[in-house]
Amino acid sequence: MHELVPPDPETGVSTPTYAVVYMPGRARKRFPAGCVRVVDSREQALAEADADGHWFAALLLGPSKSSEGQYLYYLLEWLEDTAER
């Protein structure tokens, strides 16, 4: 987990979660909580993704609180709809 704020082993707050992320592109590896919409499943994340609107489906780790007090999510994996390939 290079470049990640380590999860708290006692609370389990930072967990892998499916989400759609609002970003101009997919170059970043961490995202402020205000740009993340957590969803229930991989399928829902893929259904709500809209590349033209800059919403991308992802598996994220978070939230973690940064040293500046911001809540962040960290990219584990961008999700792709393999049916569309």
Per-10-residue mean pLDDT of the chain, 85 residues long, equals 55 82 91 96 97 96 88 94 56
Q: Tell me the domain boundaries of the chain.
A: 15-79
Question: Nearest CA to 56 among 31, 85, 72?
Answer: 31
Name the token pair of 9: 């082993």
- pLDDT for res 81: 72
Q: How many CA atoms lie within 13 A of 54 on its CB side?
A: 8
CA distance 45 to 19: 6
Name the token pair of 77: 């994996």
CA distance 6 to 64: 8
